[in-house]
């Protein structure tokens, strides 16, 4: 399982990366592995406002549907439309091509309350 050091992690197995004014969000390698083959990602609408821990997206695997929660509050500014045709990118590349959406209107200090890579690795052990 890979857990990049430059990301922050939630207990619900999302990751977030702050890039200036923008937060990029996805699910962890551990999460994609637990879910199994991902068959569909219900992406949020661009412009949607979310609170921290608010419902952001839904990921479906062959067996079940799971909520993806927002690690921090913000407004959806971009979604990864490539996942419409290739949801398996979330399995194959959870931290790169499998990103889910980007948020603006963020308070970057909110990520201080999230887990570091080391904390997350200990959490999933």
Partner 1 sequence: MTKQTILYSSHQALGARMIDFGGWMMPVQYEGIVAEHNNTRNNLSIFDICHMGEFIIEGVSAKEDLKRLLTTNIEPLVDGQCRYGFMLNKQAGVIDDLITYRLDENKWMLVVNAGTKEKDLQWIRGNVSPETGVTDISDQTGKIDVQGPKSRPVIEEILNIDLSEIKFFRFKEIIWKNKTITVSRTGYTGEYGVELYSDNDTITELWQTFLDIGVKPAGLGARDTLRLEAGLPLYGHELDEETTPEQANLMRFVCLDNDFNGKSDLLEKMENEVGRTLCGFKIDGRQAARNGHSVVIDEKIVGKVASGSFSPTLNSSIGTAFIDRKKSAINTVIGIDNGRKILDATIIDLPFYKR
Would you tell me which residues interact with partner 1 (CB under 8 A)?
36-37, 39-40, 42, 58, 60-65, 87
Cβ atoms 84, 53 nearer than 8 A: no
Residues constituting the chain: 125
CB of 34 to partner 1, least distance (A): 9
- Minimum CB distance to partner 1 smaller for 18 or for 70: 70
CB of 39 to partner 1, least distance (A): 4
CB of 96 to partner 1, least distance (A): 20
Q: How far apart are CA 110 and CA 21, in angstroms?
A: 13
Q: How far apart are CA 90 and CA 5, in angstroms?
A: 19
């Amino acid at each position: 399982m890979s857990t990049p050091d430059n990301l922050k992690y939630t207990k619900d197995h999302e990751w977030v990366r702050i890039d200036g004014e923008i937060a990029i969000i996805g699910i962890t390698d551990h999460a994609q592995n637990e879910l199994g083959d991902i068959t569909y990602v219900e992406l949020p609408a661009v412009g949607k406002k979310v609170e921290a821990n608010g419902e952001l997206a839904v990921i479906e695997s062959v067996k079940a549907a799971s909520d993806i929660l927002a690690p921090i509050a913000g407004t959806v500014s971009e979604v990864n439309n490539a996942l419409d045709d290739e949801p398996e990118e979330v399995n194959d590349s959870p931290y790169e091509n499998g990103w889910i959406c980007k948020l603006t209107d963020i308070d970057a200090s909110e990520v201080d309350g999230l887990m570091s890579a080391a904390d997350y690795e200990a959490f999933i052990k």
